[in-house]
Each structure stands twice: as structure tokens, then as C-alpha cells.
Amino acid sequence: MHKRTKKFAVISSVILLSAIVLSACGSTTTKTATSTAGASATTAVKSDKIYIPVISKGFQHQFWQAVKQGAEKAAKEFNVEITFEGPETETQVDKQIEMLQAALGKKPQAIAFAALDSKAATPLLEKAKASKIPIIGFDSGVDSDIPITTAATDNKAAAALAADKMAALIGNEGEIALVVHDQTSRTGVDRRDGFTNEIKSKFPNIKIVDTQYGGDPLKATDLAKAIFQAHPNIKGIFGSNEGAAIGVINAITESKKDGKIVVIGFDSGKQQMDAIKSGKMAGAVTQDPIGIGYWSVKAAVQAIKGETVPKNIDTGFHWYDKTNIDSPDIKALLYE
């Protein structure tokens, strides 16, 4: 072999060996807290910190961004790593189950979970229980005995308050309807039942003529329009979450029924707040989404440490309308 060729081969071998060594040295990584929309969190890697995946019901509404803010606040306070994720829409049960499966694969110390469909999630939650991974329910929680605790609004009581407000605003008589975000999650069921039962038990002259299901604003708009057509004497509609309420308001606008139908919503968000200020929406019930996110992580840390946590953590709710929307106590619970 030519001397120059030999020299080149030796140099190439040294460079290649160096690259392999450097690559090996750089292979140790640390998990960082991330947020994902409609995708599973980062793959599991070495970390000295407690890791808690927080799996929400969705990512599109401002409500979930506020929950995320609270979860991140707790993660910083308790020096733990979290990931916050959820499907693009609250109809993607299969997508959420995939996220839960991926989270379990990372062997976390605990999981915070808001189930879109408790029955669909049960097999994986049983697997978590068998692996001694505490499950913390939040928002809708999980319709099961598996969670150590659930950080949530008392949705039945909150919806009952919405029913009382509706009754007062329509003079305690007339036809009303509901657009409920779903019929599989705990929040959907509890808000529907809380509102319906309150009306039936206290207001005999009010008739609920229809209950439709859709938490996406576009779908809720179409549902509300269909209700208007089927029941021309309708006096009020309750939208059970941000998406449902916005859909009802859009339907009111498109059907030119401003001022003719009382609309009561749930949660917050800029569009609902604007509708209340303009008079298109009479008012709404707000939760404390930051508190829900904060307590989901705090309770997970407590469970990991073996501390006692209550079976239910009530994060509270409040009525707001144009008379108090700018008051300090209410403003702190609203999100845009």
C-alpha cells in the first residue's frame, strides 16, 4: 500500500474511534418537563426527579391550558418532572388510551389522569394498580375506585347552581334544553344530571325538551340550531362546557335570536367572557382550573411519599355574570 494511503487510513480510523467515544459519552440525558398537544410525551430517560405524567381530556380549550398552568406551578414548587398532554379533541378516546399506555411504559412514580371514558381506561388503570403506581384523578377523574383521590369541581352542585340561575332568568316556567359536552366522562354525566335533577325537583313548570351531546363548538352550533327548529318556544339553553357554550352562542347569532333565548354556560374562555359582557350569554359557572392542575400534581407527590390524602379534593366553583365578571375574586378564576 502506498505510504500516503496508509497514513490516510490511520487518520480515518482515529477519527472514527473518536466519534464513537464522543457519541457514547453524550448518550446520558435527563428528562425535561414538556407539554404536548395531541402527541405522547417524551420517551423515558434517566432522571433523579420524581416523574408524573399528567394526561388531560383535551388540549383545544383554554380550560386545559389553565389546568396545565396549575400543574406546572406545582411541579416547580415540589421539584418534580411532569409532562402535560391530551388529545386534540375530547372525542378521541382511543388517542387518550394510547397516551395512558405510553405513560405506563415509562414507569412513572404516579399518574394524574382525567378520563374521557372510564370503562375504556379500566384495563390500563388495573395494570397501574398492579404495578403500585398511584392514579390521581382530576377534572372528570375516573369512574372507579382505583384513583387514590380526585381533584375536581363538585360538578353536580355546580350544574344545580346553573339550573337555579336559569329558572330565575326565565321566570320559573317554559321550555329549556341542554347541550352537554359528552355522556361518557364523569363531568358530562354529573353536569347533565346535576342540572336536570335540580330542574325536575324544584321547578315543575319548567320542561326540559331536549338534551344533545357535543363539546366541539362547530358540532354544538349545529345541535343548538336543530333544537331551535324543533322547539320554537324554547326559552333557555345550558351549555355544559366551554365548547358547548360557545357553540350555543354561535347558533344564537347565526339564527338571529339574540335576546330571545337565555344561555347559561360553564367554564370560561375569551369567547364566553365576551358573550357575557355583550349580553348574549346570561352568565356561567366557573371552576378553578389552575387549582385543579395544582392539586393533581400535589396529591400525586403526597401519594408517592405515602402521605394521607382525602378521597376527594373539592376545588370549588362560582357563578359569574356581567355584574361581577370584573371583581377581583372572580377575575382570578377566569382564563382567556
CATH of the domain at 172: 3.40.50.2300
For the chain, how many structural domains are there in total? 2
Which ranges constitute the DSSP H helices of 44-185? Answer: 62-78, 93-105, 118-130, 155-169
Pair (149, 294) in one structural domain = yes
Average pLDDT of 55-76? 93
CA separation (Å) from 95 to 92, 140, 158, 162?
Answer: 5, 17, 29, 32
Pair (243, 185) in one structural domain = yes
In a domain, 139, yes or no: yes
Residue 304: predicted pLDDT: 97
Average pLDDT of 307-317? 95
The larger pLDDT score, comparing residue 28 to residue 109, is at: 109
Look up residue 124 and give its amino acid.
L
In a domain, 322, yes or no: no
Pair (226, 301) in one structural domain = no
**Average of per-residue pLDDT values in the chain:** 88
Full-model pTM: 0.78
Residue 143: predicted pLDDT: 85
Pair (223, 263) in one structural domain = yes
Pair (101, 248) in one structural domain = no
In a domain, 198, yes or no: yes
Residue 57: predicted pLDDT: 94
In a domain, 54, yes or no: yes
In a domain, 245, yes or no: yes
Pair (161, 282) in one structural domain = yes
In a domain, 332, yes or no: no
- In angstroms, the CA 321 to CA 277 distance is 8
In a domain, 16, yes or no: no
Check pLDDT > 50 for residue 209: yes
- For the record, the C-alpha cell of 20 comes out as 464513537
Pair (101, 72) in one structural domain = yes
Average pLDDT of 74-94? 95
Pair (141, 163) in one structural domain = no
Least confident of 14-18, 45-49, 54-58, 258-262: 14-18
Give residue 24's pLDDT band: very low, low, confident or very high (50, 70, 90): very low
- In angstroms, the CA 82 to CA 54 distance is 7
Domain enclosing residue 272, as ranges: 155-286
